[in-house]
Structure formats: structure tokens, C-alpha cells
Amino acid sequence: MARIIMQPSGKSVDCAYGDTVLMGLEKAGYALPNNCRAGACGECKVKVTGGQFDQGMVLDMALTQEERKQGYGLMCMAKPISEELTIEWGTTDAQPKLFPPREDALFVVTEKRPIAQRVVELRLRPVGQPIRYWPGQYVTIGNSRAGIPPRAYSISNAPRPDGELVFQVARDEGGVTSNWVHDQLNIGESIKISGAYGTFIGDPSVDTPVLCLAAGTGLAPILALAEAALRRGYKKPVTMLFSARTKDDVYSQGLMAWWRTKHRNFDYKVTLTRENLEGYLAGRVDVVLPQLFPDLSKHTIFAAGSPEFVDTCRATVKQLGAKDELIHTEGFFAQQQPVVANADRLLPL
């Protein structure tokens, strides 16, 4: 068993013999950025300032010879061979660092399809470098030349090596940008997006059962968080409750059904607020939650959707015993300015 010490916080975690540093950190609940987990993308690069490690086979383009000389390593493949290994990771409080947002990154719309009554799904591929983000964050999309104001849209997928971003955009009656996305933005067009923004990201130190609550397109950041957690082998139960008005407003059920089949600890339920149908729960979250989860005192909660929905969720889960520090919310406020984290939470460029 080796010990991995994180600087500047000084916190440490154990790393079992044969485990990579990334595995050791993840098992202890720390979220080091990663993507390919195979020494090919460079996403998990950190500086090692003390101790020795076996780097294993990694690609030169992911870790150059110069970087090796400077002490950098790829933690998805690195295994400690000394008793202690000191790495530069996180803030002084051992919080994960966020990526500095990029302005006007060029993307191409590679796919657009309706997925529910009022929702289209967009797939965008980067022309240059992918945007780096944490699951749960959002970007702004608009078209300044056409007078379409930038609006916040949550990324609904966990980071992928090709940098593809998936969005779910609901038509807001009378709204400018969402209607432009629905009616005018076409497959093959280039658009500029900025981000990533926001701090609705998984708390890396969490090791509790998780309850995710989403209404409408609030499902987007929740899907990204769940995909990332399941991908890294999160073991505690993860339950998703999706609230929709009618069956026609429900989407991504195939993906959730696949997760439920593949991961024993994942389950999802759908509640309809304006329809009573077999196979679905009926009623708003404040009605169905107390029956499903009478005691939430040990749960971490993620809730996303309209500000009213998020407020209802917060009040309801608190009544069921959820602790303030374990409640994370993302309200889809109209025309919110992008939220950029404090400088000490940003990674150096």
C-alpha cells in the first residue's frame, strides 16, 4: 500500500499495490480529470513532486519527453513504486480545480433530432481543441451576428475523447434563443459556444447514496453527472427521479434503462404531473418523494430544472432529513450570467 499526498492541501489517500494513482484517488472519492483512462489523451496529467512511479505504456503525444523530464505523469497509468508519492492536485481545501472557460469555441452541429414533445437534442463536435469541463457544467450558445443572445445550456454527456457535446434544448414559448435552436439552427452549421461554466459538479468526497431529481431539461446535467459516476464505478445506490408533465415530455428512457440493466446500483423512476398512466408514478416531487424516500438524512441530492422545481425539491428533501451541505441544485433561471469560479478554483492555462 502506497500513500499519495496531494499538494497544496496536504491530504493523503492510500493506493493499493497494483492500482493506478487515478484508481487510488477515485476510491477515496477524489475526482481527477480523466478521459481515455489509457494513457492516450493527456487529460489526467499532473506534476509529481516527490516519490517514484512506474508510468507504464503511454503515448508520447499525451506525455512528451520534455514533460516527463519536468516531473509530469499520466495518473490513469501511473503506479506508485515508492511508499509515498506527492502530486500537485486540487485547491488548498482539496477541492477539484475547474477549467478556465473558453470564449467562442467553434463547433459544428453534427446531429439534431426531436427527443420529446418540446425538446431537441443537439450533438456538437469541436473544430479545434475540445472544451474541457466537469460533468454538470454548462456552456452558452447563441449567435451574436444574427442577434441571438447567448443562453446557458447544460452539457448532458460526460467528457469524451472526441470532445463531442450533447445538449437537450426545450422550446420556451416566446423565447428567443431556444426557438432559434429549434427552428433555424441546422445540421452542418458552425456555431460558437463559450464555457464551461458553473459549479454544479459532483462533490468528489461524496460516498453516500445519491438521489438525482430532474424536471424537464433539468435532466441534462443530471445525465452527465450520472454517466461520469457510473463510468468511474461509483458503488453506492444512485436513484434518478425524472418529473415530466406528460408521457410525451419524457426522454432518455432508453439510456436510463441501459444504465439500470448494466449497473446494479442504478435505478430510475418517472413521475407524471399531468397524467395518470400505468408504469409511471403520478404527482409532483413533493407528493411522491415522501413515499419513495421517507428518510434522506444520509443521501446526497442533486436537483436541476426550473427555479420553482428546484425550490420545491430543496424544501421537500430538507423535510425528509437531507443535510444542507449535501444538497446541490441548478436552477435554470432565464438569462443568467455565466458563473465563473474564483481564481483559486481554476486550473492554470
Ligand X SMILES: Cc1cc2nc3c(=O)[nH]c(=O)nc-3n(C[C@H](O)[C@H](O)[C@H](O)COP(=O)(O)OP(=O)(O)OC[C@H]3O[C@@H](n4cnc5c(N)ncnc54)[C@H](O)[C@@H]3O)c2cc1C
Q: Which span (68-76, 83-91, 94-102, 163-171) binds ligand X, by CB under 6 A?
A: 163-171
Partner interacting with residue 177 (select from ligand X, ligand FES, none; CB below 5-8 Å by kind)? ligand X
- Please say whether the beta carbons of 40 and 62 come within 8 A: yes
Calpha distance 77→95 (Å, rounded): 22
**Helix count (H) and strand count (E) of the chain?**
7, 19
Nearer to ligand X, 179 or 205 (CB): 179
- Residue 331 φ then ψ, to 5°: -90, 130
Least distance CB 91 / ligand X (angstroms): 22
The answer to whether 137 contacts ligand X (rule: CB under 6 A) is no
Grid coordinates given for 240: 434518478
The answer to whether 153 contacts ligand X (rule: CB under 6 A) is yes
Partner interacting with residue 40 (select from ligand X, ligand FES, none; CB below 5-8 Å by kind)? ligand FES
Binding site for ligand FES (CB under 6 A): 34-37, 39-44, 62, 74, 76
Nearer to ligand X, 58 or 165 (CB): 165
Calpha distance 37→159 (Å, rounded): 12
Partner interacting with residue 178 (select from ligand X, ligand FES, none; CB below 5-8 Å by kind)? ligand X
Of 261, 12, 248, 307, residue with least CA distance to 119: 248
The answer to whether 333 contacts ligand X (rule: CB under 6 A) is yes
- Please say whether the beta carbons of 98 and 345 come within 8 A: yes
- Please say whether the beta carbons of 42 and 85 come within 8 A: no
Q: Give how far Cα 318 sits from Cα of 132, 238, 297, 301, 305, Å.
A: 33, 19, 9, 10, 18
Nearer to ligand X, 7 or 179 (CB): 179
Calpha distance 202→2 (Å, rounded): 26
Nearer to ligand X, 151 or 314 (CB): 151
Of 110, 106, 195, 100, residue with least CA distance to 143: 106
The answer to whether 117 contacts ligand X (rule: CB under 6 A) is no
Residue numbers 198-227 binding ligand X by CB under 6 A = 198, 217, 220
Partner interacting with residue 36 (select from ligand FES, ligand X, none; CB below 5-8 Å by kind)? ligand FES
Nearer to ligand FES, 67 or 203 (CB): 67
Q: Which of 335, 337, 344, 347 binds ligand X (CB under 6 A)?
A: 335
The residues binding ligand X (CB under 6 A) are 138, 151-154, 168-170, 172-179, 198, 217, 220, 330, 332-336
